[in-house]
Amino acid sequence: MSAMTSGDYVIRAIRADEWEAVKRLRLVALRDPVADIAFLETYDEALERPDSFYRERAARSAAEPSDARQFVAVAADGEWAGTVTVLIEEAGTTDWAGFPVERRQGHVVGVFVRPEHRGSGLVKALFDAGVEWVRERGAERVRLLVHAENPRAQGAYRKAGFVPSGVLVPFFKDEAETEVEFVLEWPA
């Protein structure tokens, strides 16, 4: 997939040699006020990871073939304004939480847009790139999980065309809390 433009941004897949930028943006994301309910790891956990972790993550995303792809929105000044990662989940396997995967699908994770770029349609543009990538790989739908108490993210996902599927998942950090599965499906 080549880069696409969206307003003042270029949306593209990351390159293997961009691991330092991947790390920097991840650390910024983990400082967001809702990071504790939006991401699987904490700022301190991400900071403690060796550089080899980020090198491997970037190389895996840039490889072909790959079961994961990270996309970034690059602003006119070169700043990485946002990111999304899409994983391919195969039918007959289980997801990261141990739930069965019933069909080949994309799973969106790591969604983040810097506060000063929010409200610009950037989330939808990033999702469009991720959806195109999984469709090219024969996926039947795309899904994501969002904390029930994260209305800002839920609103952004709805604007990008995702809808609640009715599936609720216990929040991995506290099973008394809930995450809601949102999906984007397309005709067969």
Q: What does the pLDDT read at residue 177?
A: 82
Q: What does the pLDDT read at residue 6?
A: 65
Q: Which fold has domain 4-141?
A: Aminopeptidase (3.40.630)
Would you give the DSSP letter of residue 50?
-
Residues 120 and 134: their CA atoms lie apart, in Å, by 24
pLDDT band at 146 (very low <50, low <70, confident <90, very high): very high
**In the chain, where the domains are located:** 4-141
Question: Hunting for tokens 């999906």 — which residue is that?
Answer: 183
pLDDT band at 2 (very low <50, low <70, confident <90, very high): low
**181, two tokens:** 């599965």
Q: What is the mean pLDDT of residues 32-51?
A: 94
Nearest to 83 by CA among 59, 120, 108: 108
Residues 173 and 35: their CA atoms lie apart, in Å, by 12
Q: What is the mean pLDDT of residues 19-40?
A: 95
**143, two tokens:** 């899904």
pTM exceeding the 0.85 threshold for the entire prediction: yes
Q: What is the mean pLDDT of residues 21-37?
A: 96
By the 10 Å C-beta count (0-12 exposed, 13-18 middle, 19+ buried), 50 is classed as exposed
Taking CA atoms, 124 is separated from 22, 94, 119, 131, in Å, by 20, 27, 10, 10
**93, two tokens:** 């396997």
